[in-house]
Copies of this chain bind each other. A is one copy, B any other.
Amino acid sequence: MFDLLFENIERKIEITEEDKAFCKTLFIPKKLRKKQYLLQAGDIAEYVAFVNKGLLRSYSVDEKGEEHIIQFAPEDWWITDMNSFLTCEEAIYNIDALEDTEILLLDKPSQDKLFEHIPKFERYFRILIQASFVAMHKRLLSTITNTAEEKYMRMLKTYPDLVQRVPQHMIASFLGIKPETISRIRKKQASNS
């Protein structure tokens, strides 16, 4: 259950067996069925979740009822509504399972305990967030500068596995384009080779 998490942590900081034992007391394992919510907009995000198996997504719904996918979280990724988790304001994102999923949950009090007992974890989470920060900058730049086709090709290159695993209309939603457009891009690409 914890193997993947510890591997992930040990890629960034060194931890002892005692540290691991302590971790095991803090994280809450949970299973989600496909389509089940982990968080709904309007609630408070009580947890950050580490995905052990399966696939989650976070998305917001605009006034017109359109879904916009913010993040996919397959195995080995973290996900939450960061703002809500940090500030206890109402979440603006929904998080739900795209497949049957196993996660490990860490709530705020437990995270604080973790930082207090093993200060190295401050570093771990700082490194995690720095990495997403850099990735987000690149995504933002691509969103601003590229055409629909360039965005889709970049997606194929950056997350080839996800493109296989997720319905196309969700890829479209993630990229901020329409499913029909992806369909046409695919057709064009097929004819180009």
A residues whose Cβ falls under 8 Å from a Cβ of B:
60, 62, 66, 68, 70, 82-83, 86, 115, 119, 122-123, 125-126, 129-130, 132-134, 136-137, 139-141, 143-145, 175-176
User: Given the known A-B contacts A134-B83, A136-B133, are A144 and B143 also in contact in the complex, defined by CB atoms under 8 Å?
Assistant: yes
Chain A contact surface mostly: helix
Q: List 7 A-B contacts (CB under 8 A).
A: A82-B133, A83-B137, A86-B130, A86-B134, A119-B122, A122-B126, A133-B133
The residues of B that contact A141 with a CB separation of less than 8 Å are 60, 68, 70
How many subunits of this chain does the assembly comprise? 2
The residues of B that contact A82 with a CB separation of less than 8 Å are 130, 133-134, 137
**Min CB gap A127→B, angstroms:** 9
The residues of B that contact A86 with a CB separation of less than 8 Å are 130, 134
The residues of B that contact A60 with a CB separation of less than 8 Å are 141
A115–B122 Cα gap in the complex (Å)?
11
A133–B85 Cα gap in the complex (Å)?
13
